[in-house]
Amino acid sequence: MGKKQGSRGQGAEGEEECGECGGVRLLPHPPTPPTPPTPPTPPTPPVLFPMPNAQSIILSETKNLMEDLAIFLSKSLTGWLVIQVCFTLVFIWYLRSSKKNLLPDDQLPKTAVILCLRGADPFLPRCLRSLLNQNYPQYDLKLIVDSHEDPAWKIASETITEQEATNVQISPLRIVRNNCSLKCSSLIQAIRELDDSYKVVALVDADTIVHLNWLRELVSPLGDAKVGATTGNRWYVPTGRYWGSLVRYVGNVSTVVQMFIFQIPWGGTLAVKTEVLRQTELLDKWGQALGEDFMMHDILKKHGFQVKFVPSLLIVNREETDLFNLIDYLKRLILFSRLYHPRWLALVSEAVSSILFPTLLSVLVLESLLEAKWEAAALLLVCYGVYTVGLLLIMLVLELEIQRVVRSNDQAIAKLSAATIIKMLIGIPLTQWVYGLAMLSSLWTSTVTWRGVSYRVKGPWNIRLVEYRPYQWLDQPINSKVSL
């Protein structure tokens, strides 16, 4: 047989035609070259977070700290506001529940009313006229004036002549002690000159314009054997011309409540039994002290006596003051408190809550606004606003209660207008800043000056008169309504 047409010697790849049998023989495939080994896949490196630098750590910690501080301040102010509301309610309850138990004439002891004068206070003639016309059977007014040159001497002499008073004695301060204040020197002189017929001594300040029954209401509670002293307090008016007057008013609102809670007497209206003076040796303490009233609570308490606050003896004070003179006054007041107040640490705690915390909160508000943290700023501002408005409401409630007491004693007092209430609201943060400045300044105070007299203070019972000169007419302020 011939070859088939189209036959080929070699077929497709891997095939070969067999000549002998005409078949096809499969040939082996050429060897496949070895596949090169796949290189091992390198391990996937772990995802590394960038290491924070020191600045980012500080910023994060600062942010957390500020948030914690804001929460702490908010809670603290809320708690402190609740405490102030409670104190206010207790004070108002006492005002409303106290009854006047006035002794009849035959049971009222003979009393010496002592007024110490250095300089002519703005309302001195009115003060003297009110003291010379008391509804009290047996009392004498003892005036101790710094010197014959003092402006108060002339005013007092003229007022006595005008009133044709016979139950008054005016004397100059004869011994200026070097280890106590001039007021303490005057008190010691006046009390030591009293005879045994006087059973009660009443102290009054020249800025106090008293009502007709002032002395009777002051002395009557001393009929209780447990009561060693009785007292009232001053109440400023918020309608003055100067911001200093408003700040003093705002600060005094809390001071009046504090003094009631702690039973601290006020030397501007204060009565003490003469036997208590002898038993407690209070005159010896006054002979070494800068002030006469703050110390009395502890001294009387040691001898088993109480200090009784008489609500009807809240006396309206209409004197004015500017911020500069107010800071000097506050520094003296804070120094007196640090030296003699029986609850000084409680006052410090109150100052931290009332001054430092609100100030820090306002700083946080400003910081949040500067960093455009609007939500945080709004929350902090709401907290600060609630606290401030809460204080304003406390002041308004107390003002209304005091006006009720004052009007019952036929004392005139102006009603609050909308403008005055707005000023009171503005005055709250201003008072916090002014009191804070005065408190910081008083920490380094070792010399105090009052009405031209300087004292060096080294301790409660280590007082030295540094400089003394008689008070002159030229020392009087130009504005006749400004406090000395």
Average pLDDT value for residue range 472-476: 82
Average pLDDT value for residue range 167-171: 97
Q: How many CB atoms lie within 10 A of CB 335?
A: 19
- pLDDT of 10: 45
Among 13-27, 287-301, 359-373, the least confident range: 13-27
Give the model's confidence band at 55: pLDDT under 50 very low, under 70 low, under 90 confident, else very high: low
pLDDT, tens digit, 9 for 90 and up, residues 241-256? 899 999 999 999 999 9
Among 164-173, 180-189, 396-405, 442-451, the least confident range: 442-451
The token pair that represents 83 in the structure block: 């405490």
pLDDT above 70 (res 51): no
- pLDDT of 481: 80
DSSP output for 51-71:
PP-HHHHHHHHHHHHHHHHHH
Give the model's confidence band at 7: pLDDT under 50 very low, under 70 low, under 90 confident, else very high: very low
Among 85-89, 100-104, 270-274, 364-368, the least confident range: 364-368
- pLDDT of 58: 61
- pLDDT of 12: 45
pLDDT above 90 (res 484): no
Alpha-carbon distance 299 to 322, whole Å?
35
Alpha-carbon distance 104 to 136, whole Å?
10
Residue 341: alpha-carbon gap to chain centroid: 14
Give the model's confidence band at 36: pLDDT under 50 very low, under 70 low, under 90 confident, else very high: low
Alpha-carbon distance 185 to 463, whole Å?
12
Among 34-43, 156-165, 191-200, 331-340, the least confident range: 34-43
Alpha-carbon distance 472 to 461, whole Å?
29
Backbone angles phi, psi at 107, to 5 degrees: -105, 0
pLDDT: which is higher, 358 or 33: 358
pLDDT: which is higher, 2 or 81: 81
- Rounded to the nearest 5 percent, the helix, strand and coil shares of the chain are 50, 15, 35
State how beta strands 462-467 and 453-459 pair. antiparallel
- pLDDT of 40: 62
Give the model's confidence band at 1: pLDDT under 50 very low, under 70 low, under 90 confident, else very high: very low
Give the model's confidence band at 34: pLDDT under 50 very low, under 70 low, under 90 confident, else very high: low
Q: How far is CA 271 from each of CA 176, 202, 231, 239, 483, rounded to the nearest angstrom?
A: 24, 4, 7, 30, 24
Average pLDDT value for residue range 76-80: 89
pLDDT: which is higher, 38 or 208: 208
- pLDDT of 46: 55
pLDDT above 70 (res 417): yes
Average pLDDT value for residue range 411-431: 90
